[in-house]
Amino acid sequence: MSATSSTTRRALAFLGMLVLLLSAVALGPAAKARAAANVAVELGYADDLRANPAHFPTPWNGSPGVIFDGCTGSCSFDGGAIRFINNTGIQVHVDYVKVAFGTCVFDIWNKNVPVDPGQSAIFTQTISGAAAGCTTNGSFDSSDVGPNGADWSGHCDQSGVVPQIEFSIDGVPSTLADSGKILNTGGVDGAECGMGNESQQWAPAGSVSCPGTVLGLAPPTQTLAVGYSASVTANLSNSCGDPLQGALVDFAVASGPNAGATGSAVTDASGNAVFSYPGAVTGTDVVGASATNPAGTITSNTVNVVWIKRDATLAITSGATSDFNDPGTVSGTLSDSLGPIAGASVTFTLNGAESCTGTTAANGSVSCSITPQEAAGSYPLTATYGGSATDNPAAGTGTFTVTREETTLVYTGSAHAANGRPYTLSGNLKEDGTTPIAGRTVTFTLGSGATAQSCTGVTDAAGNASCTLANVNQPNSATEPASAVFAGDAYYLPASASLSGGVTFTSMTGRAFGLSSSGLIGITPTPQAGPVNTTVASTSSPPCVVTISGLINAGTLCANVSTAVGPNSSTANASVQHVGIGLLGLPAIQIGAVTSTSHETCGGGTGDATIASITVGGIAVPVSLHPGPNTVINVLGIKLILNEQIPTDSATDHTLTVNAVHVIVPGLLDTVVASSTSDIHGCY
């Protein structure tokens, strides 16, 4: 048959169906509603006596949605077949089906067969095996039916019979001509006339014979990320390209990471069946499809599904910052095309040096702590993810801002100092008051203004720094401020400290006078040096008094007090050339030249007195030039204390008073001659 005649016949088949629809429309609204959406009619021939699965009509009994009016059980087939496909969307009824070969009419099938939307009804031989000619026993060996039902078995000459399919759907009768002679295998006994297997694949009524079957699987190759689902489409059609609707197609992954995965689907009106399955492991799957009928299995080509890893995305959260050497939190989010990636290890690296590693949470977030060792500034921050069985590695970049670390400085130097002596200033520098800072210069200052003295020290591993002023030289003051200053650097903020209350200086005091008296004769200390109170070297030396006249007379009275530093000391001296006491009722007292001296240092004090002579009532009192301390002589009711020494000591203060002669007349007179007092305070 020529290509032109084949095309013409297929066009005529379409026109026949159109006439069927138009006739339904003409019958009124009810019939129009049921038949207007096309109930397709297809013809085929089933022969499993000489099996050829590619030619056997597919689908067949047992396929989903197939209503089968034919032989069931252990049957062999050698007969024509008619199929009605309900694509109307409503249930229809096949009222009857008849096939006429001239005057021979096969009317062997059930009446009023309901067919739901999407279902198909197949009418074929209802008994097993072959039977030639016009029969009524349920056989439908239509390849062996000649004119008016003649036995046409073994005939290779053209019968000329065009089978007529008479049927009614929901009361609408129709007749379609099998112009392609599918039911009678081209008008000859196909089994005897070169066809061998007589099976004819389904083809629209009126179409030329399209015996073969093509099961094609597409696409040939697809590439997907793991975690998604692959879909392959099988298309089942006859050799003319007409879709074979309603056939069950089985799919199987033959090899690859998902080997053994299977599925099934029924072909739609376009002959397509879709199989989808997920992939969790990388690799290449080889997928095939097949359709099975009583004659065997139709197999497809194979296609490849290539599973690759997903691309991960790693984003660093902006705003990461911390002080130098203080932990700072860095964070980010790891995800891929399916969403957050949980349980993954992510490493953050600051400036190519410090790093930390965290594990992503269920929402893909991750964080960890980095302690920067860089100077203040902005530095690159990177995050890396090494990938997994399902995701490719990923990296992210950001910026980490390092700020200067807070510092605390405590002054730890002594609270005591002395002019003329060395003094060590010291302090302790720490981060946030806890961690020592080593290797930083601290400037220390004692005093203030123009007389301030400064030096520097470098902190050790414990954060301690100190320096020593070799010779303290501060103005006369009881206290002076002491401070420590860290100027800060690229890593640390500045800090300062001072000694609360300042540094207390060692002070020297002293007093000296020639003569004083109380009682019946009152004489204020004359002449008096001091009192002195100073932290520096000084001298108090008033002019000597040449003469004192009266009941007490004296000549050449002198006194002085001097202080020194390095070492600190206070020295007092007093001298009187002579003293006479002529109080009525008392023996006359004459005292020759006397001196007293008192000297105090933080190490201790010394004192001495010299007495040339003493007479009481004209009687000479035996005295030594250097009488021992606190020598007491009582004569004629008069008490004389020679080289009287009165010390006062504590841990930090020392005082010594030396009176050369102390004259006591109880209740009448108390006279001191040549008194020297030296004091030192704040020793350390």
Confidence of residue 195 (pLDDT cuts 50, 70, 90): confident
Bridge pairing between strands 104-106 and 435-436: unpaired
In this prediction, residues 540-554 reach a mean pLDDT of 97
pLDDT digits (tens, 9 = 90+) for 68-119: 999 999 999 999 999 999 999 999 999 999 999 999 999 999 999 999 999 9
Is the per-residue pLDDT at 411 higher than 50?
yes
What gap in Å lies between CA 440 and CA 430, rounded to an integer? 10
Residues 480-533 have pLDDT tens digits of 999 999 999 999 999 999 999 999 999 999 999 999 999 999 999 999 999 999
Give burial (CB, 10 Å; 0-12/13-18/19+) of 603. Answer: exposed
Residue 326 confidence (pLDDT) above 90: yes
Q: What is the rounded average pLDDT of the residues 10-39?
A: 44
Give me the percent of the chain exceeding a pLDDT of 90.
92
CB 457 within 8 A of CB 441: yes
Tokens of 608: 């001495």
Instruction: Give mean pLDDT, residues 579-603.
Output: 95
**531 within 8 A of 522, measured Cβ to Cβ:** no
Q: Tokens 């030039």 correspond to what residue?
A: 625
Q: Is the model's pLDDT at 189 over the cut of 70?
A: yes
CA distance 99 to 157: 22
Check pLDDT > 80 for residue 7. no
* Kind plus residue range of the DSSP H or E element containing 20: helix 3-26
pLDDT tens digit string along 614-663?
999 999 999 999 999 999 999 999 999 999 999 999 999 999 999 999 99
- Residues 404-422, mean pLDDT to the nearest whole number: 96
Burial class (CB in 10 A: 0-12, 13-18, 19+), 127: middle
Q: Which of these, 256, 301, 246, lies nearest to 44 by C-alpha position? A: 246
Type of residue numbered 461: A
Evaluated on CA atoms 58, 62, 68, 70, the torsion sign reads positive
What mean pLDDT comes out for the span 576-602?
95
pLDDT over 50 (residue 610): yes
**Coil vs helix vs strand at 658:** strand
Distance CA 68, CA 239 (A): 24
Sequence-distant (≥ 6) Cβ neighbours of residue 671 within 8 angstroms: 515, 516, 517, 518, 519, 521, 523, 552, 581, 662, 663
Find, among 12, 18, 124, 85, the residue nearest to 271 by Cα: 85
Start-to-end Cα distance in the chain: 133
Instruction: Answer yes or no: is pLDDT of 56 > 50.
Output: yes
CB-based contacts of 299: which residues, under 8 Å, 6+ apart? 215, 288, 289, 290
- pLDDT for the residue numbered 38: 76
Q: What is the largest CA-CA distance in the chain?
A: 197
Whether 275 has a pLDDT exceeding 80, the answer reads yes
Q: Tens of pLDDT along 22-31?
A: 334 343 444 4
| Residue that is written with structure tokens 């003649």 in the block | 150
30: Cβ contacts below 8 Å, ≥ 6 apart: none
Specify the pLDDT at position 35. 52
Would you state the structure tokens that stand for residue 348, as one six-digit string?
């953050």
CA distances from 388 to 90, 312, 346, 596 (A): 52, 10, 12, 100
| Domains (range + CATH), the chain | 3-204 (no CATH), 213-308 (2.60.40.10), 313-403 (2.60.40.10), 407-505 (2.60.40.10), 507-681 (no CATH)
Looking at the predicted structure, is the pLDDT value of residue 218 above 70?
yes
Q: Which residues pair with 123 in a beta bridge?
A: 69, 82
Place of tokens 């130098």: 324
